[in-house]
Amino acid sequence: MEWSSDRAAEKPTLLRPGGRSAAQPGPTAPASARTAKVPKPALLEPSALGEIAIQLRPLLGQIAQACATSTYPAIRKRLPGLSRLHRDDESVILWLLNEERREGEPQ
């Protein structure tokens, strides 16, 4: 008599998008394409960050009045003149806007 536990456990076949099983690797990109990174933008001078903050203030006010959220890519679409910023610069701009709000407006 053969018990079901006596048989080797069969592993289910997992299918990936495109109908490939996990055992069949898909096409891979060349190593140079996988490791190529987009260069980070240079950090801006504090005066330039202040100018950008002044330009962003009305747009962020509109977004806040709409009780919405946004991202820098979405903001760049609405302000085409805004270039891609370094992440540190993005944070500094938001900090500048927050400090300006604290000085002149109720929270």
Check whether 78 has a pLDDT greater than 70.
yes
Q: What is the pTM of this model?
A: 0.57
Task: Read off the pLDDT band of 104 (50, 70, 90).
Answer: low
Q: Which residues of 19-39 are buried (b: 16+ CB within 10 A; e: fewer)?
A: eeeeeeeeeeeeeeeeeeeee
- Which tokens sit at 40? 């980070």
Helices (H), the chain: 31-35, 46-65, 72-78, 87-104
Average the pLDDT over 85-97 and give the result. 93
Local confidence band at 99 (pLDDT 50, 70, 90 cut-offs): confident
Cα–Cα dist 15/24, whole Å: 9
Per-residue confidence (pLDDT) for residue 40, from 0 to 100: 86
3-class SS of residue 79 = coil
* 36, amino acid identity: A
